[in-house]
């Protein structure tokens, strides 16, 4: 329903030619309405769109000095968002509370307001100082879902000619279109806000997960590795992570990337030993359509995917000499061509490489290019094997058990004897072997408590090619007594020392020593052979 605050037109009938003027106006307003709809559908930038809408109203509908104000959700007041005058858009920071001026009246009670002559309305404040006192004025609420979200105000560029009602209806239609656009813009903004919050949460989670403070290892040698990794993370320096298989080289690479300035961009990984050379080239550099059979479309390689981020090349020591030359070029120049292409592509990628091989020996043997070695070996990080940081085993075991327990949806716990057993092992498979050992023990545990009898260390030979072992059974001196002074559960003992201690306590009777260690006679016989233990004869 429209409210006429002042309506001074006194003609009972349309003036001569009034029908023609109405028809012409309707045609003009219809064209302007189409132009407004096109503007609103063109962009989701709400501020820019509103300026263009007011420009269309000025240029094509004869409605000038357009003003759009939007309700501030915090204060509840109307803030002027944009104004368009005959001289162009202007900025204004005026606010309107409920009942303040004509704009404030709509905030107080949303409805359409039409003024035949704005100077006749004492409540008109004209804070913006842009409106002509002798001309009409139209203000319409902008609603979204029935809620007031703003006000659209315009001033016809000519005195009242009896067509104020038609113009007001047109402004209402424009207001409805603005409301729909605002609703869409608000939904997009909310979705964007939610996505940004989710992204930031994921970043915080990843940064915490791969943060240096959350990494397990308190031994002096590991603290030194973490300190070096933390320092190099700040720069774009190429890193070469050295260490045996299973020592956690990929975890260090993750920590370096996610604590570097490149953390906002991708960390792309590739195991160089997992692919043959012909596929490795396509995987790293990408290929063009038709480059080879099956290449039905162009594809970006790992280097392009990692642009602006980090590329982790695991087992870099396994690539062939021919491929090493191709790697050298991109490391030196930062450019390459896709397989089957001739266009040179430049990328900005930080390289983190890893290997378990002795690259110095490989260089001496001619298996690895010396220039590539020096290009990779800018900042070497050496990860010690688990057997050289025995003091970290209890903490690592707790961390792994928490992870395994989460997967099994129960709480797992190691006994003190089981911890001692873990500390006495040589761990040729490092942390990966420890994780497999604990997972195996967790599967065998019915109540979640892992005791020493569930800690087992099947060797590669025992797993793959069992063979009968020749055991040496010594002649036992019945008068010899076990040595009670050696504690086989002492975590400082090596595996060899522990077996010898058990044999001493058992009077070198292997079956009895096996029971002390929680092994089978066959297992202790295997230990005696592999550890080169000289069996005492009595």
Q: What is the DSSP string of 237-248?
A: --EEEE--TTS-
Residues sharing a CB contact under 8 Å with residue 314, sequence separation 6 or more, in sequence order: 249, 250, 269, 270, 271, 272, 273, 353, 354
Q: Please give the pLDDT value at position 158.
A: 87
Do 225 and 165 touch, CB atoms closer than 8 A? no
Domain C-terminal end among 384, 403, 430: 384
Residue 24 belongs to a domain? yes
Residue 437 belongs to a domain? yes
Instruction: Enter the pTM of the model.
Output: 0.56
Residue 21 belongs to a domain? yes
Q: Are residues 435 and 515 in the same domain?
A: no
Q: Are residues 227 and 343 in the same domain?
A: yes
Q: At what angle do helices 321-333 and 277-285 cross, to 10 degrees?
A: 10
Q: Please give the pLDDT value at position 145.
A: 83
**CATH code at 314?**
3.40.50.300
Q: Are residues 311 and 339 in the same domain?
A: yes
Q: Are residues 24 and 119 in the same domain?
A: yes
Q: 346-382 burial, b if ≥16 CB within 10 A, otherwise e? A: ebebbbbbbbbeebeebbeeeebbeebbebbeebebe
Q: Please give the distance of CA 497 from its chain centroid, rounded to a whole number.
A: 48
Query: Using CA atoms, how far apart are residues 379 and 323, in angstroms rounded to an integer?
Result: 22
Each residue's pLDDT, cut to its tens digit, for the chain (538 residues) gives 444 444 434 344 455 555 577 778 788 888 888 888 888 877 666 777 888 899 999 898 889 989 998 888 888 888 888 888 888 777 777 888 888 888 889 888 899 999 999 888 888 888 888 888 899 999 999 998 888 989 999 999 888 888 899 899 999 999 998 888 878 877 777 888 788 888 777 766 666 666 666 678 888 889 999 999 999 999 999 999 999 998 989 999 999 999 999 998 999 999 998 888 778 888 999 989 888 877 778 889 999 999 999 999 999 999 888 889 888 989 988 899 998 888 999 999 999 999 999 999 989 988 899 999 999 999 999 999 998 899 999 999 999 999 999 999 999 999 999 999 998 888 988 999 999 999 999 999 999 999 998 998 875 544 443 333 333 333 333 333 444 456 676 666 777 888 888 888 888 888 888 888 877 777 787 778 777 787 765 5
Q: Please give the pLDDT value at position 475.
A: 35
In 3-state terms the chain splits into helix, strand, coil percentages (rounded to 5) of: 45, 15, 35
Kind of pairing, strands 267-271 and 310-314?
parallel
Residue 203 belongs to a domain? no
Residues sharing a CB contact under 8 Å with residue 62, sequence separation 6 or more, in sequence order: 28, 156, 157, 158
Q: Please give the pLDDT value at position 8.
A: 38
Q: Are residues 373 and 392 in the same domain?
A: no
**CATH code at 81?**
3.30.450.40
Residue 224 belongs to a domain? yes
Domain C-terminal end among 384, 416, 439: 384
Query: Using CA atoms, how far apart are residues 263 and 200, in angstroms rounded to an integer?
Result: 12
Q: Are residues 317 and 428 in the same domain?
A: no
Residue 197 belongs to a domain? no
Measured CA to CA in angstroms, residue 213 lies from 209, 216, 230, 239, 396 at distances of 9, 8, 10, 20, 14
Name the domain count of the chain: 4
Q: Are residues 324 and 183 in the same domain?
A: no
Q: How far apart are the first and last CA of the chain?
A: 115
Q: Please give the pLDDT value at position 469.
A: 34
Q: Are residues 77 and 175 in the same domain?
A: yes
Q: Please give the pLDDT value at position 99.
A: 85
Q: Are residues 309 and 222 in the same domain?
A: yes
| Residue 275: exposure state from Cβ atoms within 10 A (0-12, 13-18, ≥19) | middle
Q: Are residues 141 and 44 in the same domain?
A: yes
Domain C-terminal end among 325, 352, 384: 384
Q: Please give the pLDDT value at position 464.
A: 40
Q: Are residues 413 and 481 in the same domain?
A: no
**CATH code at 393?**
1.10.8.60
Residue 492 belongs to a domain? yes
Q: Please give the pLDDT value at position 289.
A: 86
Which phi-psi region, left, alpha or beta, contains residue 430 (left: φ > 0; alpha: ψ -120 to 50)? left
The residue range of the domain holding 427 is 387-457
Q: Are residues 392 and 376 in the same domain?
A: no
Query: Using CA atoms, how far apart are residues 124 and 155, in angstroms rounded to an integer?
Result: 13
301: tokens are 């390689």
Residue 200 belongs to a domain? no
């Amino acid at each position: 329903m429209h409210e006429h605050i002042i309506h001074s037109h006194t003609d009972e009938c349309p003036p001569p030619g009034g029908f023609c003027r109405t028809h012409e106006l309707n045609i003009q307003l219809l064209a302007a309405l189409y132009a407004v709809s096109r503007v609103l559908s063109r962009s989701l930038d709400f501020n820019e769109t509103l300026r263009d809408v007011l420009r269309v109203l000025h240029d094509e509908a004869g409605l000038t000095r357009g003003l759009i104000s939007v309700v501030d959700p915090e204060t509840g007041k109307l803030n002027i968002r944009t104004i368009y005058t005959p001289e162009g858009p202007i900025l204004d920071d005026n606010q309107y509370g409920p009942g303040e001026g004509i704009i404030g009246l709509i905030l107080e009670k949303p409805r359409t307001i039409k003024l035949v002559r704005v100077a006749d309305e004492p409540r008109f404040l004209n804070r913006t100082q842009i409106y002509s006192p002798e001309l009409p004025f139209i203000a319409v609420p902008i609603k979204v879902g029935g809620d007031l979200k703003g006000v659209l105000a315009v001033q016809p560029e000519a005195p009242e000619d009896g067509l104020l009602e038609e113009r007001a209806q047109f402004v209402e239609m424009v207001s409805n279109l603005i409301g729909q656009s605002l609703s869409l813009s608000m939904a997009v903004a909310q979705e964007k806000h939610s996505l940004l919050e989710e992204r930031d949460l994921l970043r915080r989670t990843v940064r915490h997960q791969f943060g240096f403070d959350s990494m397990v290892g308190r031994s002096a040698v590991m603290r030194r590795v973490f300190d070096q990794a933390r320092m190099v993370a700040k720069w774009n320096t190429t890193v070469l992570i050295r260490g045996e298989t299973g020592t956690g080289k990929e975890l260090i690479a993750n920590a370096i990337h996610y604590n570097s300035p490149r953390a906002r961009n991708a960390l792309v990984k590739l195991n160089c030993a997992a692919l043959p050379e012909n596929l490795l080239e396509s995987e790293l550099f990408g290929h063009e359509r038709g480059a080879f059979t099956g290449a039905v479309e162009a594809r970006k390689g790992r280097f392009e995917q990692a642009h602006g981020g980090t590329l982790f090349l695991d087992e870099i020591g396994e690539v062939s000499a021919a491929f090493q030359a191709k790697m050298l070029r991109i490391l030196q120049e930062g450019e390459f061509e896709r397989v089957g292409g001739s266009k040179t592509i430049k990328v900005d990628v930080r390289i983190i490489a890893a290997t378990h091989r002795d690259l110095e020996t490989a260089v001496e043997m001619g298996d690895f290019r010396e220039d590539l070695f020096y290009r990779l070996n800018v900042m070497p990080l050496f990860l010690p094997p688990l057997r050289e940081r025995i003091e970290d085993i209890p903490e690592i075991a707790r961390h792994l058990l928490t992870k395994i327990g989460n997967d099994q949806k129960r709480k797992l716990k190691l006994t003190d004897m089981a911890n001692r057993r873990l500390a006495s092992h040589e761990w040729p498979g490092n942390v990966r072997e420890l994780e497999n050992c604990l997972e195996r023990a967790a599967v065998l545990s019915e109540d979640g408590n892992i005791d020493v009898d569930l800690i087992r260390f099947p060797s590669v030979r025992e797993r793959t090619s069992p063979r009968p072992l020749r055991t040496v059974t010594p002649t036992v001196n019945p008068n010899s007594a076990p040595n009670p002074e050696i504690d086989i559960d002492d975590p400082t003992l090596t595996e060899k020392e522990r077996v010898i201690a058990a044999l001493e306590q058992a009077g070198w009777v292997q079956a009895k020593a096996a029971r002390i260690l929680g092994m089978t006679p066959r297992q202790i016989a295997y230990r005696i052979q592999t550890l080169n233990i000289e069996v005492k004869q009595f």
